[in-house]
Amino acid sequence: MNIDGTLRKTVTRTSAPEGIAAGVLSRLDQTSTRQPFRPASSMLWRVAAAVVLTAALAGLTAHQVIEHRRTEGERARREVMTALHIASSKMRAAQHAIAHD
Q: Which residues bind another protein (CB under 8 A)?
A: 1-17, 20-21, 23-25, 27-28
Q: Which CB sits closer to another protein, 10 or 33?
A: 10
Nearer CB in complex with another protein: 27/90? 27
User: What is the SS3 string spanning 12-77?
Assistant: CCCCCCCCHHHHHHHHHHHHHHCCCCCHHHHHHHHHHHHHHHHHHHHHHHHHHHHHHHHHHHHHHH
Least distance to another protein, CB of residue 58, Å = 45
Least separation, in Å, of the C-beta of 26 and another protein? 10
The number of residues making up the chain comes to: 101
- Cβ 37 to another protein shortest distance, Å: 19
Nearer to another protein, 2 or 101 (CB): 2
**For 59, what's the count of Cα atoms within 13 Å in the CB-facing half-sphere?**
6
